[in-house]
Homo-oligomer: A and B are copies of this chain.
């Protein structure tokens, strides 16, 4: 038995509407992740997390095929990055939810491996406030922010935590010898980049080339698969708990 809609036949999907009332949609990105990580990192992480959440839900959830592209304008200065506009990305997720709702699904959980998708998902969530569908979404790393330790003052994209997760989930997509540090201290950042990193107040966005010439925040070289396992499995636990509450609500 599988929870992957991609692998199911239509007959299996018909049964799943009844037995697996939560539909999980993993969304990622195709964008630069520094000198040593594959550009599909965020898609790989989203799928890896989605499947672990589904496993924990033991048949009560299905996982849709991944949306392999996300909103990545802030990485387009780096070769190979591919980006959807927020409007198109939003339309894609809306139409996938709409398709599944036609078959009877009523509860949705989008798992994004890419923080650049958060704003569009937040906007989309507002559309469902007045519908009879329940639309939830979750980021990945921030769900386990309390567990990240030993990181640089500045860290984040393609840094310690993401690299650790990839070393655990898909080590063959990490070229360890090519990992190199990005910006690791606030002192290294220019003034606007520093403002962009500040939390809890006014916000300004910059391209990742403004942060650092390699587009990396933090030092991926210190990442370990063991730290990755902790982040991934705990995130899966916590999101599964959330999903259980959603299903029993």
Which of A's residues lie within 8 Å of B, judged by CB?
5-14, 16-17, 30, 32-40, 43, 64-69, 71, 73-74, 76-88, 91-92, 95-96, 99-100, 102-104, 109, 116, 118-120, 122-123, 125-130, 134-138, 142-143, 145, 173, 175, 178, 190-192, 195, 198, 200-207, 215, 238-239, 242-243, 245-246, 248-249
Contact = CB atoms under 8 A, between A and B. Distances in A.
B145 A200 contact: yes
> Does more than half of chain A's interface fall in helix, strand or loop, or is it mixed?
mixed
A99 to B, nearest CB: 4
Contact of A195 (B201, B206, B245): B245
B84 A95 contact: yes
A201 B142 CA distance: 7
Given A34-B9, A65-B43, A202-B242, A99 B81 contact: yes
Given A145-B200, A202-B143, A8 B73 contact: no
**Copies assembled:** 6
A249 B210 CA distance: 13
Given A10-B34, A142-B201, A201-B239, 18 more contacts: A8-B80, A10-B39, A12-B80, A16-B79, A43-B65, A65-B82, A74-B126, A76-B130, A79-B103, A80-B103, A84-B96, A92-B92, A120-B123, A122-B122, A129-B206, A191-B249, A202-B239, A204-B246
A104 B79 CA distance: 9
